[in-house]
Amino acid sequence: MYVNPSIDLIGMRAFTKLKVRKSLDGGRFSHWLPLYFGENEKYTIETQNWSHEEEQMVKKIDNIDTLERFEKHFMNTINFVTNGSTRQPVTSEQALKFMTKLIGTHIIDLMKENRHVSILAIRRLFNFIRLLLFLMQKDGNIEKDLDSQLGSFMTDAKCRHKDVCKALLDYQVLALVSNKVNKAEFMQLYCDE
């Protein structure tokens, strides 16, 4: 029903190795979600380790693709949250639902002032929207699902009924990132509901 994000940034190492599970405001969290800042550089890391077989220091060079690394961690997080495991592939429907709940919950917290309205909270909102846009670029089915849901909402009054449309805010999030929906027409139907 919701995904309640923390707005603090922590690195993956702090989450996995140091087991940090508490935000600066004292709130607890259970999952780590990487954010995308547009990185796509590739770099190399050189390490030296002692080899018992060769009885000497051995140099190892790893090539790191930041975009590939981000994508792997991001999809693993969505898989784990939606499926309880990283072994099953995430579907476009699951990814879209996860992102709409993440963005929607954050917006609700800002509106209800459950979360301090600050530049940091607004930045996180844009970070989450950027994640959804990244998913839309990566998987064309996500954009098709999004446009299909919005199309049904706008053309069929039955699809705006509470039996079908459990959370209106989900549609607001979808309209926010859609390229095809007429925003003025959507807002009129949305406000009427």
Residue 115 lies in a domain: yes
Asked if the structure places residue 53 within a domain, the reply is no
pLDDT at 17: 93
Does 1 map to a domain?
no
Asked, for residue 163, whether it belongs to a domain, the answer is: yes
pLDDT at residue 95, as a whole number: 92
Q: What is the residue range of 101's domain?
A: 12-39+67-192
Q: Pick the residue with more confidence: 90 or 17?
A: 17
Asked if residue 36 lies in contact with residue 73, where contact means CB atoms within 8 angstroms, the answer is no
Strand residues in 25-171 grouped as ranges (E):
42-51, 56-65
pLDDT at 192: 84
Number of independent structural domains in the chain: 1
Tell me the average pLDDT across 135-140: 91
Share of the chain above pLDDT 90, in %: 32
Q: Beta strands 56-65 and 42-51: pairing type?
A: antiparallel
Tell me the per-residue pLDDT of 142-169, one tens digit each, with 9 for 90 and over: 999 999 999 898 888 888 888 877 788 8
Mean pLDDT, to the nearest integer, of 12-23? 92
Specify if 86 maps to a domain: yes
